[in-house]
Amino acid sequence: MEAHLTEWLNLSIRWVHMITGIAWIGASFYFVWLENNLNRVNPKDGLAGDLWAIHGGGIYHLEKYQLAPPQMPENLHWFKWEAYATWLSGVALMLVVYYLNPSLYLVKPGVDLAPAMAIAIGFGSMLVGYMAYHVLCDSALGKRPALLGAVLFVLLIAAAYGFNLIFSGRAAYIHVGAIIGTIMVGNVFFTIMPAQRALVKAIEDHTTPDPALPAKGLLRSRHNNYFTLPVLFIMISNHFPSTYGSQYNWLILAGIAMLAVLVRHYFNTRHNSSTYIWTLPAAALGMVCLAFVTGPSMQNPVPQAAVAVITDTPLAGEADKSAEPAQPVASAPTPATDGGSFAQVNSVIQQRCSVCHSATPSSPMFTAPPAGFMLDTPEQIKAQAAKIHAQSVASQVMPLGNITQMTEQERELIGAWIEQGAHLD
């Protein structure tokens, strides 16, 4: 029952996080688009520009003041709760998924790190990340946007590398996303909202607003806009073990984030020119290159020794020993079978994988097989061979947290069996 309730708690929080995130990011995209598409030719007195638009069967006329109208309107809509709700639900999701069971989901297998320390590092990184960003923005570097962006990029990827040393691949990615999300909500809470309140107060007090504060708020809003696509990727990355499960996951994150920022820059600037249209084919080519370099054959080739066990043939250069029978992998839970290898592979899978991936999981963490992925029968195992290879051989992200202690030799055994055609005989 506890696993069932945890799953529904996870679902509920994740759903709220997704809904509020869509609202926040949607508003961010819309207002940057609006700012970029204002008609600034001969605006009316006091206006920075206006825009006519049609949507949902109606025509809208939007005007932006250079600073503020002479008198505050009776109803003024604020955009803040989307940001706050997204961050709060995101932190709650981290608590449920990673911090309730840090030894399983958070800490990297084999790393001797106390769960409390791992959690402290996770929370502390969000605070330190925002403080470092805030200091850099208010420094002389803040007046050089391109250089500031490059420095922030390097620091975030350095954080990804550091997280990868102590956290699981999924947790490392999520904590980079948590730092970025904290920076974004910090921009709203500490910079954008105070600037807007000061503007409204100046109008109500009939004083001249300070133009520096709205300009600062607009700059931080643009920063948030560029952060959105990398954060969206991180939010869905747990579905793609070839990214976070790679030994070079921090470099993969760097590549995808860079491509995302370039694409976002094109959409932010296309109203002026098509100078950055090259970023679209470049991003497509970049994704193809990342798919190639993260392929199983590039990262975790099947050792020849494992192939020798599966095929019952001698290793290259050892033809003089062909008369000797091949020895089974030492850690395999069953002895080598006479002519067939599936019995060995099946025994490993039933011992290491089916505790969760079964119609009736024996693991107390699950009441149903995760993602409906079952490995109870030989036919199911053969049908899922490609996914088994991706998860347990290529990226080695499964078993989750290596809770069932699958050994390297067992992974090699499974990989070699799949390489040889995943035969059941």
Looking at the structure, tell me whether residues 323 and 389 fall in a common domain.
Answer: yes
Helix (H) or strand (E) holding 50: strand 47-55
262 domain residue, yes or no: yes
Looking at the structure, tell me whether residues 398 and 277 fall in a common domain.
Answer: no
**Domain termination residue (choose one: 254, 275, 294):** 294
Please, is 32 exposed, middle or buried when counting C-beta atoms within 10 Å of its C-beta (0-12, 13-18, 19+)? Answer: buried
Looking at the structure, tell me whether residues 168 and 283 fall in a common domain.
Answer: yes
**Domain termination residue (choose one: 294, 317, 343):** 294
The residues with which 51 forms a beta bridge, in sequence order, are 62
DSSP-derived secondary structure for 226-268: HHHHHHHHHHHGGG-HHHHTSTTHHHHHHHHHHHHHHHHHHHH
The fraction of the chain above a pLDDT of 90, given in percent, is 56
CA atoms within 13 A of residue 128's CA, in its CB half-sphere: 11
CA 408 – CA 396 distance, rounded (Å): 9
pLDDT (0 to 100) of residue 274: 85
57 domain residue, yes or no: no
Looking at the structure, tell me whether residues 250 and 126 fall in a common domain.
Answer: yes
Mean pLDDT for the stretch of residues 20-37: 93
Residue-wise pLDDT tens digits, 205-235: 988 888 888 888 888 998 999 999 999 999 9
At residue 108, does pLDDT exceed 90? Answer: no
pLDDT (0 to 100) of residue 326: 37
59 domain residue, yes or no: no
135 domain residue, yes or no: yes
Contact indicator for 105, 400 with CB cutoff of 8 Å: yes
Mean pLDDT for the stretch of residues 408-421: 91
Taking 3-state DSSP, the helix, strand and coil percentages for the chain, each rounded to the nearest 5, stand at 65, 5, 30
Contact indicator for 230, 183 with CB cutoff of 8 Å: no
Nearest CA among 8, 185, 155, 219 for reference residue 90: 185
Residue-wise pLDDT tens digits, 256-304: 999 999 999 999 888 888 899 999 999 999 999 999 988 765 554 544 4
Looking at the structure, tell me whether residues 353 and 257 fall in a common domain.
Answer: no
Helix (H) or strand (E) holding 320: none
The fraction of the chain above a pLDDT of 70, given in percent, is 88
Looking at the structure, tell me whether residues 262 and 311 fall in a common domain.
Answer: no
pLDDT (0 to 100) of residue 77: 93
The number of domains in the chain is 2
Helix (H) or strand (E) holding 49: strand 47-55
pLDDT (0 to 100) of residue 299: 53
Residue-wise pLDDT tens digits, 314-363: 433 344 433 343 344 434 444 333 334 799 999 999 999 988 898 888 88
At residue 130, does pLDDT exceed 90? Answer: yes
pLDDT (0 to 100) of residue 317: 38
pLDDT (0 to 100) of residue 298: 59
CA 314 – CA 307 distance, rounded (Å): 9
Looking at the structure, tell me whether residues 310 and 355 fall in a common domain.
Answer: yes
Looking at the structure, tell me whether residues 19 and 163 fall in a common domain.
Answer: yes
At residue 9, does pLDDT exceed 90? Answer: yes
245 compared with 224, residue with greater pLDDT: 224
Mean pLDDT for the stretch of residues 18-42: 93
**Domain termination residue (choose one: 294, 328, 350):** 294
Q: Which two tokens stand for residue 213?
A: 């504060």
At residue 378, does pLDDT exceed 50? Answer: yes
Q: Which two tokens stand for residue 284?
A: 């497509």
3-state secondary structure of 392: helix
234 domain residue, yes or no: yes
pLDDT averaged over the chain? 86
Nearest CA among 403, 392, 401, 396 for reference residue 107: 401
Looking at the structure, tell me whether residues 239 and 351 fall in a common domain.
Answer: no
Residue-wise pLDDT tens digits, 74-83: 899 999 999 9
Looking at the structure, tell me whether residues 283 and 325 fall in a common domain.
Answer: no
Q: Which two tokens stand for residue 425?
A: 């005989």
Q: Given pLDDT bands bounded at 50, 70 and 90, which one contains residue 398?
A: confident
> For 66-139, where are the E strands, in sequence order?
none
Looking at the structure, tell me whether residues 290 and 317 fall in a common domain.
Answer: no
Which of the residue ranges 60-74, 195-209, 357-371, 395-409 would you say has the lowest mean pLDDT? 357-371
**CA dist 185 → 82, 130, 254, 377, 396 (Å):** 10, 9, 22, 48, 34
CA 31 – CA 20 distance, rounded (Å): 17
Domain that holds residue 157: 2-33+80-294
DSSP conformation class of 208: -
Looking at the structure, tell me whether residues 262 and 381 fall in a common domain.
Answer: no
299 domain residue, yes or no: no
415 compared with 340, residue with greater pLDDT: 415
Residue-wise pLDDT tens digits, 174-205: 999 999 999 999 999 999 999 999 989 998 89
CA 288 – CA 37 distance, rounded (Å): 33
DSSP conformation class of 63: E
9 domain residue, yes or no: yes
Q: What global pTM score does this model have?
A: 0.77
Q: Given pLDDT bands bounded at 50, 70 and 90, which one contains residue 1?
A: low
158 domain residue, yes or no: yes
